[in-house]
Every structure is written in C-alpha cells, then in structure tokens.
Amino acid sequence: MIKISPSILSCDFLTLDDTMPLLKEAGVDMLHLDVMDGNFVPNMSFGVPVIESIRKHTDIPLDVHLMIDKPHRYIKDFAPVSDWLGFHYEAGSPVAETLKEIRELGCKPYLTIKPKTTAEEIFEFLPLCDMVLVMSVEPGFGGQKFMPESLPKVTALKEEIARRGLNVEIEIDGGINKETAPLAAQAGATVLVAGSYVFNGDDMCERVKYIKSL
C-alpha cells in the first residue's frame, strides 16, 4: 500500500489543531514539513519552534525535509522534533557523515535530490538511508506542475534498492494529485507527498484514502 505524507505548508495553520485528528482518522502515515531558509531555496517557511508545537498535538510521525544550506549545522536542533529527517544532496553537507549523525540521534535519515540531479549520483549513499526523496518540482514553492521526467529516477532508485537488497522507502514530492499519483506509484514511489491536492479539496479524507489505495 502507498504511504502518504501531506505537506503542512499547504494547510491553514489557524485550523491545524482541528485538522490533525482528521488526518489521523484518514490514516496518513506521516506529516511532511518543509523547512526553507531563503538561501538554499528562494522562500522561507518555519523552524524548530513551529515543528515542536505541531509535535505536541499529534502522534503522527513527522517527516522533516530540510531545504537549507549546509544542513549538517542544524541536525542536532531538528532531530529532537523529527521522526524522519532529510536533507538535500546538493546542500553542501558531508553526505555520509550527516546521514550517520541523523541515525545516531534517533531519527530515520533520508536524502533528497533536486530535478537536475541524477539518481545515480546518490546510489552510494543508499545503505545509509531509510528513505530517498525525489523532487518532482523545483524545491521552494508549493502548487507547481509535476515534472514527469522525475519518474525514471524513481524507477532507477527502485531497481538499485532491489539489486542491493535494501529496505529503503522512495518518496516523491511536487505536483502530486489525482492524475500524477498513479504515475508515481507505478514508477516505484512508496511515499507520496501531497499538499495542495489534500488540503485544497472539498473532502480531505477521501483524497488521502484515494492515494493510499493506489
């Protein structure tokens, strides 16, 4: 069954306390939190205090995606408020060392690649990951159009993970909706991040259930 990680960036923060029980009832597997610094990506979002407050009000696992420059500097800050903690391959941190530190601090580590980065560039790091995240839009803003050229990267990662006999989730983030979700699942993605599709619809729970049914 496909897992879903709704992106909190697309929700109404004023009603988040009411939304959390609905998400749990719908069966979401984790909540995706994009941390943006206005440097690595051209936008800013939130940091540790907001994630900490969300964590106090839900037991849904938190999938924290660091879109920040040199993320190794902040791993110790984000680890206590994260269940899954990921960063970008392109962000200027020592990749292997940072993945190991995340695991040592009790989180599930994952590595993210931007649209122009090939899957092959991160093959060597797969044994250190519990998940890899393929961006299907340019990171930094929600509501972008899905890039179908991301799908072969998902398939390449799936094949390499199987070849190595690893247990690594493949997450995809960007432009996931009713039309693109089946394509991502068919390509080999096991976790779908959906923001606008989940939170901007008339029936959030039904949309979550649809993605999980793929």
- H or E stretch at 4: strand 3-6
Establish whether 130 is a catalytic residue: no
Position 12, amino acid: D
Please report the beta strands in 43-190, taking only residues with DSSP state E, as ranges in sequence order.
62-67, 84-88, 108-113, 131-135, 169-173
The overall longest dimension of the chain from CA atoms, in Å, is 46
Q: How far apart are CA 54 and CA 68, in angstroms?
A: 20
Tokens representing residue 69 in the block? 């420059």
Catalytic residue among 63, 69, 173, 203: 173
The count of residues in the chain is: 214
Establish whether 173 is a catalytic residue: yes
Catalytic residue among 29, 34, 37, 130: 34
CB 169 within 8 A of CB 148: no
CA distances from 136 to 10, 29, 156, 193, 194 (A): 17, 20, 15, 10, 11
* Catalytic positions, written as ranges: 34, 173
